[in-house]
Structure 1
Amino acid sequence: MIKISSRIQKSILLAGIVMASHGCKIDIAPTDRYTEEAIWKNPANMELYVNGLYAEFQTFKFGQFPIGYSNATDALTDIMKYTSSTAGNGTVNILATDATRVNAAGPQLNYWQAAYTRIRRINEFIDGLRKYAVVSDAEKDQYEAEARFVRGYVYFWLVKLHGSVIIMDDLAKHTVKDNPRSSEDDCWKFIASDFTYAAEKLPPVQTGIKAGRATKGAAYGMLARTWLYAASIAKYDRKQFNEDPLTGVPEANALAYYKNAADAAGEVIKLANEGYYELESDFAALFTNKNTKEAVFKLDFVAPQFTHQYDLGFTPPGDVPGQCLVYGVPTAELVDEFEMNDGTKFSWSNPTQAADPYANREPRFYGTILYNGASWKGRTINTTPSSATEGIMEYGVSTEPRKTVTGYYVRKMLDQSNTNFIQNKSTQPWIEMRYAEILLIDAEAKTGMNDVSGAQNSLNALREKRGLPNTPASTPAQLMAAIEHERKVELAFEGHRYWDLRRWRKAHTVLNKVRFSGHRVSAEGTGFKYEKISADNADRQFTPELYYMPIIVNELQNNDALDQIDGW
Structure 2
Amino acid sequence: MKNIFLIMIIAALFTGCDKDLTKEPNFISEDVVFEDENLTEAYLAKIYEAIRFQDLGGEGNNAMGLIAAVGAEHTAFANWQTPNQAVLRTYSEENGGGSLTYWPYGNIRDVNYLLENIENSISFTRDYINAKIAEARFLRAYMYFELVRRYGGVPIVTKVQNDTDPTEELYPSRNTEKEVYDFIYNEINDILPLFPDAKSGVNGRADKFTALALQSRAMLYAASIAMFGEMQLEGIVGIAATEANTYYQRSYDASQKIINEGGYVLYDKSDDKVENYIQLFLDEENDEVIFAKVFEPFVKGHSFDNLATPQGFSASWNSNYPVFYDFVELYGFVEGSPITGVSRDELTDENSWDINEFFGMRDPRFRASVYYPEYEWQGGTVYFHVSTTYTNTNGEVVTVNSGTLDRDGTPWPAAAPPRNVRNTSLLVRKKVDESNTNPIANASGQNFYVFRYAEILLNHAEAAFYLDKKDEALTDLNAIRNRAGVPALMSVSEDNLRNERQVELAFEEHRYWDLKRWRIAQEKMDGVRMKGLTFKYNLDTDRYMITLKNAESVTRSFGMERYYLPIHLDWINTNPNLIQNPGY
* Alignment TM class, shorter chain as reference: 0.7 to 0.9
* Segment drifting more, 287-296 vs 181-190: 287-296
Deviations 1:448-494 (A, max 9, x none): 111111111111111111112221224xxx2x211211111111111
What residue in structure 1 maps to residue 506 of structure 2?
A: 492
Aligned match of 2:416: 391
Asked if 1:508 corresponds to 2:522, the answer is yes
Contact persistence 2:352–2:544 (CA under 8 A): no
1:314 paired residue number? 308
Looking at structure 1, the residues matched to 57 and 322 of structure 2 have their Cα atoms a distance apart, in angstroms, of 14
Range 352-361 or range 301-310, more displaced: 352-361
Q: 1:64: how far off?
A: 9.4
- For 1:102-141, what aligned pairs fall within 5 Å after superposition? 102-106=92-96, 108-113=98-103, 115-132=104-121, 134-141=123-130
Is 2:295–2:446's contact at 8 Å kept on the other side of the alignment? yes
Name the counterpart of 2:245: 255
Deviation at 1:347, TM superposition (A): 1.3
CA separation of 1:404 and 1:442: change in aligned 2, threshold 3 A? farther
* Cα offset, 1:316, TM superposition: 0.9
SS at match of 1:539: coil
Change (3 A) 1:207 1:75: closer
In 2, Cα distance between equivalents of 1:415 and 1:261? 34
Answering whether residue 228 of structure 2 is matched by residue 236 of structure 1, we say yes
Q: Is the 8 A contact 1:372 1:383 kept in 2?
A: yes
Paired with 2:108 and 2:530, the residues of 1 have a C-alpha distance of 38
Partner residue of 1:421?
439
Residues 267-346 of structure 1 mapped to structure 2, 5 A cutoff: 267-272=257-262, 275-281=263-269, 282-320=276-314, 323-342=316-335, 346=340
Larger Rg: 2
3-state SS in 1 of match to 2:342: coil
* 1:213 positional shift: 1.0
Paired position in structure 1 for 2:382: 381
Q: Are the equivalent residues in 1 in contact too, given 2:188–2:212 (CA < 8 A)? A: yes
CA distance in 2 between counterparts of 1:153 and 1:48 reads 19
Aligned-residue Cα RMSD (Å) equals 3.2
Instruction: Kindly indicate whether the alpha-carbon contact (under 8 Å) linking 1:83 and 1:329 is maintained by their aligned counterparts in 2.
Output: yes
| Inter-CA distance 433–261: structure 2 relative to 1 (3 Å threshold) | same
For 1:519 and 1:535, how far apart are their aligned partners in 2? 8
Q: 1:42 aligned to 36, 39, 48, which one?
A: 36
1:225 paired residue among 217, 234, 247: 217
Contact 1:339-1:362 at 8 Å conserved across structures? yes
Contact kept, 8 Å, 2:213 with 2:254, in 1: the verdict is yes
Give the equivalent residue in structure 2 for 1:559.
Answer: 575
Amino acid in the other structure paired with 2:113: E
**Distance in 1 (alpha carbons) for counterparts of 2:581 and 2:512:** 21
Deviations 1:358-386 (A, max 9, x none): 13222111110110011011111110114
Quote the Cα distance in structure 1 between the aligned partners of 2:512 and 2:253. Answer: 25
Unpaired segments of 5 or more residues in structure 2?
10-23, 270-275, 388-400, 403-412
- Return the alpha-carbon distance in structure 1 between the equivalents of residues 148 and 352 of structure 2: 43
1:159 to 139, 148, 154: 148
1:66-101 CA-partner distances (Å, limit 9, x unpaired): 999565121123321222123646313423xxxx34
Residue 6 of structure 1 aligns with which residue?
none
Relative to structure 1, the CA distance from residue 457 to residue 200 in structure 2 (aligned partners, 3 Å threshold; closer, same or farther) is farther
Which residue of the partner structure matches residue 70 of structure 2? 76
Matches of 1:56 and 1:41 in 2, distance apart?
23
**% identity of equivalent residues:** 27
Mapped partners of 2:265, 2:427: distance in 1:
30
- Once the two structures are TM-superposed, the CA of residue 538 in structure 1 deviates from its matched residue by 2.0
**Could you tell me which amino acid in structure 2 is paired with residue 283 of structure 1?**
Y
Cα displacement (A) at 1:536? 2.0
Match of 1:531 in 2: 547
C-alpha deviation, 1:245, in angstroms: 4.2
1:544 matched to 2:533: no
Instruction: Compare 173-182 and 447-456 and name the one that shifted more.
Output: 173-182
Structure 2 residue aligned with 1:202: 195
Equivalent residue number for residue 176 of structure 2: 183
Deviates further, 163-172 or 185-194: 163-172
Cα separation, partners in 2 of 1:433 and 1:62, compared to 1, 3 Å: farther
User: Displacement, 1:278?
Assistant: 3.5
Mapping for residues 78-93 of structure 1, pairs under 5 Å = 78-86=72-80, 88=82, 90-93=84-87
For 2:427, give the aligned amino acid: Y
Query: How many Å apart are 1:434 and its aligned residue?
Result: 1.1
Q: 1:427 to 1:182 in 2, by over 3 A?
A: same
Offset of residue 243 of structure 1:
4.6
Distance between the aligned counterparts of 2:336 and 2:580, measured in 1? 48
| Residue 370 of structure 2 corresponds to residue 369 of structure 1 | yes
Greater mean alpha carbon deviation, residues 369-378 or residues 41-50: 41-50
Secondary structure in 2 matching 1:437: helix
SS state of the match for residue 329, structure 1? coil
Q: Give unmatched runs, 5+ long, in structure 1.
A: 1-9, 20-30, 394-400
Cα distance change, pair 263–64 in 1 and its aligned pair in 2 (3 A): farther
Please, which moves more after superposition, 464-473 or 505-514?
464-473
Whether the 8 Å contact between 1:36 and 1:128 is mirrored in structure 2 is no
Q: Distance in 2 between matches of 1:306 and 1:90?
A: 26
Measure, in 2, the Cα distance between the counterparts of 1:341 and 1:417: 28
| Alpha-carbon displacement from aligned partner over 1:303-362 (angstroms, at most 9, x marks no partner) | 3311111112222122226x2243321111222221212298841249999543013222
Q: Conserved in 2, the CA contact under 8 Å of 1:43 and 1:134?
A: no
1:215 matched to 2:240: no
Q: Say if 1:546 and 1:332 are closer, same or farther in 2 by CA, change over 3 A.
A: same
Q: Name the structure 2 match of 1:60.
A: 54
Deviation string for 1:250-283 (max 9, x for gaps)? 11110111011010001111134xx344333511
Q: Helix, strand or coil: the match of 2:476? A: helix
**SS of 1:472's equivalent?**
coil
Residues 253, 284 of structure 1: CA spacing in aligned structure 2 closer, same or farther, 3 A cutoff?
same
Q: Work out whether residues 70 and 83 of structure 2, in 8 Å CA contact, stay in contact via their aligned partners in 1.
A: no
Three-state SS of the structure 2 residue aligned to 1:50 is: helix
Alpha-carbon contact 2:302-2:441 (below 8 Å) kept: no
Contact 1:280/1:293, CA 8 A, preserved across alignment: no
Task: Check conservation: 1:33, 1:49, Cα contact below 8 A.
Answer: no
Q: Counterpart of 1:196 in 2: which secondary structure?
A: helix
Deviates more, 1:483-492 or 1:532-541: 532-541
Measured in 2, the distance between the counterparts of 1:383 and 1:269 equals 42
Per the TM alignment, residue 520 of structure 1 is displaced from its structure 2 partner at its CA by 0.9
Q: 1:438 aligns with which of 456, 459, 468?
A: 456
2: distance between equivalents of 1:339 and 1:105?
Answer: 40
- Which residue of the partner structure matches residue 408 of structure 2? none
Secondary structure of 1:495's counterpart equals coil
Change (3 A) 1:18 1:145: closer
Cα 1:402–1:362 change in 2 (3 A) is: closer
User: Which stretch of structure 1 is more off in the superposition, 552-561 or 198-207?
Assistant: 198-207
From 148, 169, 172, the equivalent of 2:137 is: 148
Q: Which amino acid aligns with 2:330?
A: E
Q: Structure 2 CA distance, aligned partners of 1:495 and 1:347?
A: 27
Partner of 1:454: 472
- Which stretch shows the higher mean deviation, 164-173 or 350-359? 350-359
Matches within 5 A, 1:15-34: 15=5
CA distance in 2, matches of 1:270, 1:64: 41
1:189 to 1:116, Cα distance in 2 relative to 1, 3 A: same
- Return the TM-score normalized by structure 1: 0.85
Instruction: Give the letter for the 1:405 counterpart.
Output: N
